[in-house]
Chains A and B, each alone.
Chain A
Amino acid sequence: MSHDGNFARRLGRTLRFELSKLPGHRLPLIAVLAGPLAAAALGLASGRPEGDHSGWVHFARMIQSGFPVGAFFLAVLGAVAVNEEVNGGGMRATLLRPVGRTEIILAKLGVLAGLGLLAGLLVIAAAWLVVVTRGGFADVRLVIEGLEPVITFERAEIAAHGRTLALIGLLSLPAAAVLGLAVSTIVDTEGTAVATAAFAVGFLHLAGDVVESARNFSFLASPRVASGRLEELAQGIKTHLAEVEALGPGAPEVLVPLASLVAFGILAVLVFRLRNLRC
């Protein structure tokens, strides 16, 4: 019964194992659905904002509410990913099999990042669905009292900007989940780990409100900044159009969540390997 294989095969096997464990566990489901549900609930409860003639402001605001809620729950999910198994014995059961600690932590990282991406896509999908069922998307018109409305953006043009801006913050959710994972490798008690991760997410989120330059260090500011730009465009404000059109893979809104995801991932792997947690 020799079944070791190379690192990639072992990692693949461990990744499948981690995925197979998910059904039956409520927390991953809650973490993935919390953001989309929050976005949809806000959209349905509040209705279209005053002056929103195109649907894009509504869409942007739902994204602004869905991403932080999703980030919070994903960070909580990550915060119990390791210590819960160490304390409950699941980690010991896994380590008794021919898999190493590196494969285990990388597989967890992969699953959490995947769930984060899925949650982000679902937030966007939920917001899109709510707008579509409530009048849909239209051209952006600048309405000034006493004057004829002016079409600022054709529907296709704003849709192109909308897609870019909605997707820009997508990496912030995997980054939140992996932040939680890093906390989980450091803090042994589940309750303390959850509180620590929740505090970190709350701090990073609020930091963006208090300090304008927060987007340079807070991965959670990225989706808010991007959806804020979308809201401005949807209100007919063209001031930031050049910035929006210049957005690309090198923009801070993309790089900061990506860099955070990589940094938290490296931290989680290193701490998990170096601490050699007693299982």
Chain B
Amino acid sequence: MSEEIVLETRDLVRRFGAVTAVDGLSLRIRRGDVYGFLGLNGSGKTTTLRCALDLLAPSAGEVRLFGVASAAGRRAARARIGAMVEAPAFFSHLSGRRNLALLAGLSGPLARNAIDEVLELVGLEAAADRRAGHYSLGMKQRLAIALALVGQPEFVILDEPTNGLDPNGILEMRRLIQRLNRERGVTFLVSSHLIHEIELVGTRVAIIDRGRLLLEEPMEGLAERLGAGYRLRARDLPGARKVLAALGARDLADGDGELRFGYEETALPDLHAELARAECGLLTLEARRRSLEELFLELAARDAGTLT
């Protein structure tokens, strides 16, 4: 994978009055990445993307698109990118096809079949000549994605691309991202609040919370973090808790009538034996995946720890 950076934010800050939506965020998206940008709703993802695309002026910090930091350079660089930010955006009195032709025309001349190709790609050929304002939510989302993809951009930014799509549409979207990345080398930045979505397509992931970067690493690292947990139910939960604490279980937490913890898989037989010896009345012990919320809490607690 090339080391060329297509988008970089350096200590990006965006404030809305007293609220700091993005707080010193530094991201680096390399050419060829499918960069998953994860965060709960309201964590600052969309604000970051808006700043990156000059829809919003940062309060502080720097944005570089294809290595260019000047406003004029970034504006010119937008001819090389496609983006869908927040809700689908287009002109509702024009047809889907006309929207594509006019808006893409602002980026430069289009290949003869570019519009038909992208309409087919998102499955909107049949409705292409209908007024976009009459589209369903899913169709609007598809049109917005088509707008981001038309003209063969090198870098595509998709903000919550599966919003409004049915399960089939979500699957198609995932395949489309993977195919364009693999076959055409298109770099993607995909924001989402759904960890599963990112896990399936991403090559690299960043997690933000309250505008701060909690984690940025290759996708394999995230998979390990998510899968390294267990849940235990027992008749004597306090007794089981003591055993787990004594054996050095990680991130031990009380759940809804259960204990959650991290543990080495190879040492599980010993754990079983100790629990039996302590007569805890073990009911179930199973591997569990942590939810994004739990990972956020853990990362946020760790982040707070480093601050204090």
Which residue of chain A lies nearest to B103 when distances are taken between CB atoms in the complex? Answer: A93
A21 contact set on B, CB distance < 8 A: 91, 94, 102
Interface string of A217-236 (1 = CB under 8 A from B): 00000000000000000000
A267 → chain B closest CB, angstroms: 21
Contact indicator B79/A1 (Cβ below 8 Å): yes
Of the residues A13, A25, A85, A89, contact of B106 by C-beta under 8 Å: A13
A71 → chain B closest CB, angstroms: 24
Contact indicator A96/B85 (Cβ below 8 Å): yes
The B contact surface, by secondary structure, is loop
Binds B, one of A40-48, A52-60, A97-105, A165-173: A97-105
Check: B200 CB closer than 8 A to any chain A CB: no
Contact indicator A3/B53 (Cβ below 8 Å): no
A89 contact set on B, CB distance < 8 A: 87-90
Check: A17 CB closer than 8 A to any chain B CB: yes
Interface size of B in residues (CB-CB distance below 8 Å): 38
Contact indicator B94/A3 (Cβ below 8 Å): no
A166 → chain B closest CB, angstroms: 34
A201 → chain B closest CB, angstroms: 25
Check: B75 CB closer than 8 A to any chain A CB: yes
Check: B26 CB closer than 8 A to any chain A CB: no
Contact indicator B76/A95 (Cβ below 8 Å): no
B91 contact set on A, CB distance < 8 A: 21, 85, 88, 90, 93
Contact indicator B87/A3 (Cβ below 8 Å): no
How far does the alpha carbon of A92 sit from the alpha carbon of B83 in the complex, in Å? 10
Check: B17 CB closer than 8 A to any chain A CB: no
Check: A24 CB closer than 8 A to any chain B CB: yes
Interface string of B131-158 (1 = CB under 8 A from A): 1000000000000000100011110000
Of the residues B90, B104, B108, contact of A2 by C-beta under 8 Å: B108
A1 contact set on B, CB distance < 8 A: 79-80, 107-108, 151-154
Check: B293 CB closer than 8 A to any chain A CB: no
A100 → chain B closest CB, angstroms: 6
A13 contact set on B, CB distance < 8 A: 105-106
Check: B265 CB closer than 8 A to any chain A CB: no
How far does the alpha carbon of A209 sit from the alpha carbon of B90 in the complex, in Å? 44
How far does the alpha carbon of A2 sit from the alpha carbon of B91 in the complex, in Å? 25
Contact indicator A4/B89 (Cβ below 8 Å): no
Contact indicator B94/A93 (Cβ below 8 Å): no
Interface string of B93-121 (1 = CB under 8 A from A): 11000110011111111000000000000
A100 contact set on B, CB distance < 8 A: 75
Beyond A96-B83, A98-B79, whether A90 also contacts B56 by CB under 8 A is: no
Check: B57 CB closer than 8 A to any chain A CB: yes
Contact indicator A3/B79 (Cβ below 8 Å): yes
How far does the alpha carbon of A1 sit from the alpha carbon of B151 in the complex, in Å? 8
Contact indicator B75/A96 (Cβ below 8 Å): no
Contact indicator A276/B57 (Cβ below 8 Å): yes
Check: A20 CB closer than 8 A to any chain B CB: yes
Contact indicator A88/B108 (Cβ below 8 Å): no
Interface string of B204-232 (1 = CB under 8 A from A): 00000000000000000000000000000
Contact indicator A4/B55 (Cβ below 8 Å): no
Contact indicator A93/B75 (Cβ below 8 Å): no
Contact indicator A93/B55 (Cβ below 8 Å): no
How far does the alpha carbon of A165 sit from the alpha carbon of B76 in the complex, in Å? 47
Which of A1, A2, A90, A94 gathers the greatest number of chain B CB atoms within 10 Å? A1
Beyond A3-B107, A93-B147, whether A98 also contacts B90 by CB under 8 A is: no
Contact indicator A4/B75 (Cβ below 8 Å): yes
B117 → chain A closest CB, angstroms: 15
Check: A64 CB closer than 8 A to any chain B CB: no
Check: A279 CB closer than 8 A to any chain B CB: yes
Which of B80, B89, B105, B147 gathers the greatest number of chain A CB atoms within 10 Å? B89
Beyond A3-B109, A88-B92, A276-B57, whether A98 also contacts B102 by CB under 8 A is: no
Which of A91, A93, A94, A100 gathers the greatest number of chain B CB atoms within 10 Å? A93
Beyond A93-B91, A98-B76, whether A278 also contacts B56 by CB under 8 A is: yes
Contacting B at CB under 8 A, from A85-143, are 85, 88-100
A90 contact set on B, CB distance < 8 A: 89-92
Check: A14 CB closer than 8 A to any chain B CB: yes
Interface string of A1-27 (1 = CB under 8 A from B): 111100000000110010011001100
22 contacts between A and B (CB under 8 A): A1-B79, A1-B151, A1-B153, A3-B108, A4-B75, A13-B106, A17-B102, A17-B106, A20-B102, A21-B102, A24-B93, A24-B94, A90-B90, A90-B91, A93-B89, A93-B90, A98-B75, A98-B76, A98-B106, A278-B55, A278-B56, A279-B55
Known: A1-B153, A89-B90, A98-B76. 20 other contacts (CB 8 A): A1-B154, A3-B108, A13-B106, A17-B102, A21-B91, A21-B94, A24-B94, A25-B93, A88-B91, A89-B88, A92-B55, A92-B89, A93-B103, A94-B106, A95-B53, A96-B78, A97-B78, A98-B75, A98-B106, A98-B107
Closest 3 CB pairs of A and B: A3-B108, A89-B89, A4-B76
